[in-house]
Chains A and B, each alone.
Chain A
């Protein structure tokens, strides 16, 4: 559609609108107002839903909070029939699995981002990039099923014994279970889920680093890696942090896949190879049939903790992303 000259057309617009009938002008004003209201209403609806969600979660947790207070976080015993609930084990499980996902996943994903943005020729990038994104499209229930049936036995028969035999002096590498269910398994699944998120965000970040900055570094006789290390990575540090926070949010909230492979326990152990539970996975397993009201409320309490951490990391990621722009750190 060709653009008619917009400049100087205010008079044209006035002339044209004077040609419209009063009825049409009324209809137009009504239409403008209505559309604006409807759009605003949609935004308000979303905000209302978010507020309702928070309200619902905190109200549901009220019973357990009034009974346990913050000691819920420090106690470990989770015995629904006895009305004893302590979230420490689950919080610990959440932290361990998420930490594992980030510690392994972030460096791998950032390397993939470097590869896709800076190293791969266009043809290769156009193939590998969608493949990495496809990893994110696998539904978590399928990944959890695969983790249980296929990954678990492999872990128990090869990797876990190897790690235990070589590094067994470190408490996290305790003796493996017989089943494939373990915190380690859950952590690996979370790693797989977190990698494509961080990889695609960092890929876009690295692609946005100005060419002339990289050329300037190369013109000083630096190797490819030195350009990346000296120019690309420092200028994108805040963006990388934001990407990792997004990945963290994903890992924290993943309930289904983790529940399939983690064993459903509520205690925490130092060994990665034992079963355990995360906040999200316990909610997934126990929410459909709570034993009593306090049980239900304790699950809401866990959900409240999850909500707070999840929203906080999301907001932090958004704030960092906004504050420092795409290729963060470049002041021009």
Chain B
């Protein structure tokens, strides 16, 4: 393709004794290369810009709402019950999901042969990709339409299991085969070596995966909307078998109303939620690096 007629001579013969600057069509090719690299850089900048824009919006609008009273009081002045509700719902969901996720990844890494490993892995992939709205639908029928925090926890657990399983798998893979062989050589039973050697070595990665899935669960709206969306935030609720008010639902409801004061509250809630997620994310990343370093030494 000739962009500039007459400029891009085919470099069939060239004089190698000429200075080492671009000959033939190389100048044009350099331009193309620089242009496409520029596009790639621009794309990355754009993504970061969007992140910054959203974060700045949340922070600048939300910080106005934040106060000690905001965090601890009940409606209409504060959103304390929502924080508590989210905490309880996510905690129960994680408590359910953690053992199941770890057991599944143990199954994948220690017990499943090649024939079984593939379908179970696919199972985890599918579960990971299930839209949370469908999981929420399912949970509603599971609890026979009864609104409760516990129902939401079940839905969150279904969302968290594949996340925890995947993170645990990554770190189980890193446990050196030599450790397993050493345990075998000493005549230690499989179950003992798994529980006392392998799992403890993987603890860092498991904690990381759990923190990340907690961050994800805290922000999930559809499950809590369907299963505990009728809760009110005018007083603190602690019983998981009743509807619990939660942060994402409140943000969602406030966004649907056309009330500017409600918007400020929503920004404040968003800010708190983002801060929690950020802290969980950073903490887990630091933990992950530390545990990976320990395992691969």
Contact = CB atoms under 8 A, between A and B. Distances in A.
Given A119-B37, A139-B277, A303 B137 contact: yes
Contact of A253 (B134, B176, B221, B252): B134
Interface size class of B (residues with CB under 8 A): 35 or more
Given A46-B104, A139-B277, A225 B255 contact: no
A56 B251 contact: no
A119 B194 contact: no
A231 interface: no
Contacts of A170: none
A166 interface: no
Contacts of B26: 223
A60 B141 contact: yes
A134 B281 contact: yes
A20 B274 CA distance: 55
Contact of A39 (B110, B135, B178): B110
Given A114-B40, A131-B48, A311 B184 contact: no
Contacts of A148: 255
B143 interface: no
Given A49-B158, A134-B281, A145-B270, A17 B187 contact: yes
Interface string B128-149: 1111111101101110000000
Given A45-B100, A112-B43, A132 B48 contact: yes
Given A39-B110, A141-B251, A223-B33, A284 B182 contact: no
B153 to A, nearest CB: 14
Given A6-B185, A284-B225, A150 B190 contact: no
Contacts of B274: 138-139, 142
A143 B225 contact: no
A149 B184 contact: no
A4 B178 CA distance: 8
B220 A139 contact: yes
Interface size class of A (residues with CB under 8 A): 35 or more
Contacts of A306: 131, 133-134
B181 interface: yes
A134 B285 CA distance: 12
Interface stretch (B2-10, B72-80, B119-127, B232-240): B119-127
14 contacts: A28-B189, A39-B107, A42-B107, A43-B107, A43-B108, A50-B126, A111-B40, A140-B219, A142-B219, A148-B255, A224-B37, A249-B131, A255-B222, A318-B121
Given A12-B185, A111-B42, A280-B131, 8 more contacts: A9-B184, A9-B185, A60-B141, A128-B44, A135-B50, A139-B221, A310-B134, A315-B126
Interface of B: 26, 29-30, 32-33, 36-37, 39-44, 46-48, 50-51, 54, 57-58, 99-100, 103-104, 106-108, 110-112, 118, 120-135, 137-138, 140-142, 158, 161, 176, 178-179, 181-182, 184-187, 189-192, 194-195, 197, 215-216, 218-222, 225-226, 229, 248, 251-252, 254-256, 263, 266-267, 270, 273-274, 277-278, 281, 285
